Amino acid sequence: MSTVGFGNTLLRRRGVLPGFGAGFGLTLFYAGLLVLLPLGALILKASALGPRDVFRLVTDPRTLQAFQLTFGSSAVAGGVNALFGLLLAWVLVRYQFPGKSLVDALVDLPFALPTAVAGISLTSIYAENGSLGALLGKLGLKVAFTPLGVTVALIFVGIPFVVRTVQPVLEDLDRDVEEAAAVLGATRLQTFARVILPALFPALLTGFALAFARALGEYGSVVFISGNMPYKTEIVPLLIVTRLEQYDYAGATALACVMLLFSFLILLAVNLLQRWSRRGAPA
């Protein structure tokens, strides 16, 4: 991890593989072209709006509600996915059962499915006349066209992230470490909490961050199930699209910039937490 002593070590060290200069240059160019350039254009466009206008736009109750819903439901969805993704990964790694490879393949489906398709199917299931919606309606639980529905859609699109990040780490986890804990007197729960979970934690955090980030930007699956009611179930990406449709490019990009800033800060925090939790791991 300490290899990124820039300039004086990294640039001078000759690796076994040639082409560091070209590789590094190409990477910078590629990242610049694909990530930094559009983001730069975004900020440039947003700067057409004065700081006062941006502030008014962002503190507008309707916008505030959208921010709250977007970040809140994304965080909840990320958390739920972390929990159940861990469980799913555990079952897939530790147990043998018929149809295991089928389940394994199903996990990736939310990746491949067009999000609009996911949104429409979720809506039709959870709507009041839908199969699951009718059942839940009897229990007094309304999912479609509520913040809960938004969260359900975000959970759906985020499932693969946690499973796919935790799975390989779990596969690499040595069984003898668990046995060592057992011989030292630890119960299964203690072994899980003190030995397995700390080892999985960095991967789990990565999975959470990916699922959370994916949820923040999700649009297609949410707009159907949310019903897009102002002050109730609007998400930020929807507000951005709405403004674009009204040719309010400056407003749309300003919202996007604020969203970007917060997302970046949160992901940065998660990354720092992850680095801290990785201490002691072999470099």
Partner 1 sequence: MSVRTEIVSKRFAARGPAAVDNVTFEAKPGAITTLLGPSGSGKSTLLRLIAGLERPDGGKISIDGKDVTHVSPRERNVGFVFQSYALFRHMTVFENVAFGMRIRKLGKERIQERVLELLSRVQLAGYEGRYPSQLSGGQRQRIALARALATDPKVLLLDEPFGALDTKVRIELREWLLAFQESARVTTLLVTHDQDEALELSEHVVLLADGKVEQTGAPHELYDAPATSFVASFLGGGSLLKGTVRSGRAEVGSLAVQAPEGAEDGAEVRALVRPHDVRLEKAADGGEVAVARVERMRRIGPRIKLLLMLPTGDAVTVHMPKTEVDELGIESGDRVLVDLKDAKVFVEDYAI
**Residues interacting with partner 1, by CB under 8 A?**
174, 176-177, 179-187, 190, 194-195, 198-199, 201, 277, 279-283
Cβ nearer to partner 1, comparing 132 with 182: 182
For residue 218, what is the DSSP state? -
**Residue closer to partner 1 (CB basis): 174 or 245:** 174
Which residue lies nearer to partner 1 by CB, 132 or 186? 186
CB of 169 to partner 1, least distance (A): 12
**3-class secondary-structure state, position 44:** helix
Q: How far is the CB of 177 from partner 1 (least distance, A)?
A: 5
Which amino acid is residue 250, in one-letter code?
A
Cβ 16 to partner 1 shortest distance, Å: 23
Taking the complex as a whole, the smallest distance from the CB of residue 88 to partner 1 amounts, in Å, to 23
Q: How many CB atoms lie within 10 A of CB 93?
A: 16
CA distance 221 to 152: 10
DSSP one-letter code for 16: S
Question: Quick one: 34 or 184, whose CB is closer to partner 1?
Answer: 184
Cβ of 141: how many Cβ atoms within 10 Å?
12
Rounded CA gap, 173 and 259, in Å? Answer: 37
In the numeric block, which tokens belong to residue 237? 């990406």
**For residues 108 and 172, which CB has a smaller minimum distance to partner 1 in the complex?**
172
Pick the closer one to partner 1 by CB: 118 or 205.
205
Rounded Cα distance between 52 and 41, Å, is 21
DSSP state, 134?
Answer: H
Tell me the chain's radius of gyration from C-alpha atoms: 23
Work out how close the CB of 210 gets to partner 1 at its nearest, in angstroms, rounded to a whole number.
22
Least CB distance to partner 1 at residue 84 (A): 24
Measured between its terminal Cα atoms, the distance across the chain in Å is 5
| Residue 134 C-alpha from the chain's centroid | 30
